[in-house]
């Protein structure tokens, strides 16, 4: 450095260089020295807070962002990043207020809308969260950030599909009313204008929901396009087709859903094996598999050590099964997915499920299990998502499973429907089992 380290600017420059080299503690020390020389520069507090944010020291980040805002109340990034720290500290109400201030200063940054939606979700203000997620996608369409689209669209789709209290018909009617009479709903103005001007991009979002099997969310978006453009026969046809698939799915559940209450003792062990996963943040994306260190590996190979499957079943309290019979079951399953933990040269089976199918329309998942030592890490979610993706690659669209009360929320977050429209399914269980 040309400048001697005896001024605020010199310390700040040194701190910036050390931060770029991830020398965090040294950078923190030099930014503090810069603040000692010049305690009235908002940039020093902001950059120091950024380091604390990267180090997940949320409290220190919050303190320094607040100081930066006090010195410069017109810098949107200090508000946005403060909101991020507040979300981590679970200060939902203050985070919401701070994100709104960030948006006022910079209304073109889509992540402020998205993170505002996250705060509203935590307060169970579902409709307000949905509006903010929509706004985020409206702004995002001007960019080429495909990965960001997946993240934000996932949040919107899950919220639309899982948390609106209305039935699907009520939700469709409400959003069609909003679309038709948007003057009465000024908070939707930017969204309705987007549908009118960029219908193809709106349909892309709906198609993404359909691909992820969020039927309710897809139907809502298709219905809004129909209301804006009632002469678009292609969209009308797609809307009717998806609605019919939803009805077919409900009929299938009616035929296949297990009467768990009549077999509660037998099936409670299956609930316990997956229920711990429901505490995982369902907004995590991508799935919680450590790709960088390659610690976890999915496989669809049915030729694996069945002794390891016995150990996995025993770990969750399930009964082991005859290897001869299990081999037949695996050979006749449409899809078998195993999840392995790799450490050095050791390979441990920690997750398992399989699907039976007519190979055209329907598939049902069985034996979903994650080893207790690996639960509450998002691996159950990863296992199901990987399995659903494999089934959809085979054009299987109607996918069912049987879950008890402890696991219902976990499967809801993955797009499954519980007893839609009050339908109850039944199947006969042999009393000899």
> Rounded mean pLDDT of the chain?
84
**Rounded distance between C-alpha atoms, residue 414 and residue 281, angstroms:** 11
Q: What pLDDT, on the 0 to 100 scale, is given for residue 292?
A: 43
Select which of 11, 45, 222, 411 is catalytic.
Answer: 411
Q: In the structure, what pLDDT confidence band is assigned to residue 285 with cuts at 50, 70 and 90?
A: very low
Map residue 225 onto helix, strand or coil. helix
Q: In what order do the strands lie in the sheet with 398-400?
A: 296-299, 335-343, 346-357, 362-370, 398-400
Which of 202-206, 288-292, 377-381, 399-403 is the most confident on average?
202-206
The answer to whether the bond into 286 is cis (omega within 30° of 0) is: yes
Q: Please tell me the predicted confidence (pLDDT) of residue 337.
A: 95
Q: Which residues of 351-371 are buried (b: 16+ CB within 10 A; e: fewer)?
A: bbbbbebeeeebbbbebbbbb
The alpha carbons of the chain give a radius of gyration, in whole angstroms, of 26
- Residue keyed to tokens 């062990």: 269
Q: How far apart are CA 351 and CA 299, in angstroms?
A: 10
pTM here is: 0.62
Res. 96: pLDDT tops 70: yes
The dihedral sign for the CA sequence 334, 427, 257, 170: positive
pLDDT at 47 over 50: yes
Q: What is the pLDDT of residues 30-42, one digit of tens each?
A: 999 999 999 999 9
Instruction: Tell whether the model's pLDDT for residue 288 goes beyond 50.
Output: no
What is the reported pLDDT for 316? 87
Low-confidence winner among 54-63, 102-111, 146-155, 287-296 (lowest mean pLDDT) = 287-296
31 in catalytic set: no
Q: Which among 385, 416, 415 is positioned nearest to 401, based on CA atoms? A: 416
Residue 2: the pLDDT is: 47
Rounded Cα gap, residues 223 and 194, in angstroms: 15
Q: What confidence score (pLDDT) does residue 419 get?
A: 65
What percent of the chain lies above the pLDDT cut of 70?
Answer: 84
Q: What is the DSSP string of 262-324?
A: GGHHHHHHHHHHHHGGGGS-TT--S-S--TTTT-EEEE--S-S-HHHHHHHHHHTTPPP--HH
């Amino acid at each position: 450095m040309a400048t001697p380290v005896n001024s605020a600017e010199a310390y700040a420059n040194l701190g910036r260089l050390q931060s770029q080299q991830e020398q965090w503690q040294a950078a923190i020390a030099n930014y503090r020295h810069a603040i000692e020389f010049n305690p009235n520069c908002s940039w020093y507090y902001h950059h120091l807070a950024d380091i604390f944010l990267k180090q997940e020291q949320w409290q220190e980040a919050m303190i320094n962002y607040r100081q930066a805002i006090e010195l410069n109340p017109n810098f949107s990034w200090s508000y946005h990043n403060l909101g991020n720290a507040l979300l981590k500290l679970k200060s939902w109400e203050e985070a919401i207020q701070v994100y709104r201030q960030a948006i006022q200063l910079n209304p073109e940054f889509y992540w402020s809308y998205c993170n505002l939606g996250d705060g509203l979700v935590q307060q169970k203000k579902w409709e307000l969260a949905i509006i903010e997620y929509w706004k985020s996608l409206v702004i995002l369409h001007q960019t080429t950030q495909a990965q960001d689209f997946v993240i934000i669209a996932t949040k919107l789709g899950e919220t639309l599909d899982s948390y609106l209290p209305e039935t699907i018909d009520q939700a469709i009617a409400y959003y069609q009313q909003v679309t038709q009479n948007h003057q009465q709903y000024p908070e939707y103005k930017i969204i309705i204008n987007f549908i009118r001007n960029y219908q193809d991009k709106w349909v892309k979002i709906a198609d993404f929901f359909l691909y992820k099997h969020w039927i309710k969310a897809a139907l809502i978006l298709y219905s809004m396009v129909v209301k804006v453009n009632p002469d678009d026969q292609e969209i009308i046809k797609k809307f009717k087709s998806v609605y019919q698939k939803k009805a077919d799915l409900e009929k299938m559940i009616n035929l296949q859903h297990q009467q768990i209450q009549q077999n509660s003792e037998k099936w409670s062990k299956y609930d316990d094996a997956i229920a711990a996963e429901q505490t995982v943040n369902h907004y995590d994306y991508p799935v919680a598999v450590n790709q960088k260190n390659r610690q976890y590996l999915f496989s669809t190979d049915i030729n694996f050590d069945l002794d390891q499957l016995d150990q996995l079943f025993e770990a969750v309290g399930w009964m082991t099964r005859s290897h001869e019979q299990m081999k037949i079951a695996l050979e006749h399953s449409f899809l078998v997915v195993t999840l392995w933990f790799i450490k050095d040269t050791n390979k441990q089976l920690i997750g398992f499920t399989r699907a039976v199918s007519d190979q055209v329309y329907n598939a049902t998942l069985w034996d979903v299990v994650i080893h207790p030592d690996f639960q509450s890490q998002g691996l159950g979610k990863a296992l199901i998502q990987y399995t659903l993706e494999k089934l959809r690659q085979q054009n299987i669209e109607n996918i069912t499973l049987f879950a008890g009360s402890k696991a219902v929320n976990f499967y809801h977050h993955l797009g499954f429907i519980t007893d839609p429209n009050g339908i109850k399914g039944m199947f006969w269980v042999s009393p000899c089992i």
